[in-house]
Amino acid sequence: MDQQRRKQLVNEYQQLPRKIGVFQICNLVNGKVWIGSSLNLHGALNKEVFILNMGNHDCVPLQKEWKEYGEQQFKLEILEQLKLEEGESLIGMIPLNVPVNHPTNKKHRKELVELEQKWLDKLQPYGDKGYHIHA
């Protein structure tokens, strides 16, 4: 692929609206789940698979079972997306010139933490049901 085409594809990707929300990685063999959240769900899911395939996931039990059972025995799915206000859109990546403490980013991060906690409370992915450890 030539450099101009690559640049075009990157630009097109960066113009896609980002989906914000909570996802899970479910072990189809034993039903255990790992819950995560992101301001960029598509990117986060790709990152999780990449890290698991590289053998470097922070959750050691999940990493061990990924290696033992293989990628085909896991299902990644979006549990819930954050609903943006009418007319609100997050395109591409967070611009470098927008600080993390910018009101929009703080608002979405706070809502995302609350949404993830809602799913942790609902699914209780601890012990035999998941890969999380009680805080």
> What average pLDDT does the structure give for the chain?
86
State yes or no: pLDDT of 105 exceeds 70. Answer: no
Superfamily of segment(s) 20-83+97-129? GIY-YIG endonuclease (3.40.1440.10)
What pLDDT sits at residue 123? 97
Distance between CA atoms of residues 132 and 129, nearest Å: 9
Buried b (16+ CB within 10 A) or exposed e, 19-29: bbbbbbbbbee
In the structure, what pLDDT confidence band is assigned to residue 12 with cuts at 50, 70 and 90? confident
Bridge partner list, 37: 22
What pLDDT sits at residue 100? 52
What pLDDT sits at residue 95? 47
Q: What is the DSSP letter of 86?
A: T
pLDDT, one tens digit per residue, over 33-89 is 999 999 889 889 999 999 999 999 999 999 999 999 999 999 999 999 988 776 565
pTM for the model:
0.78
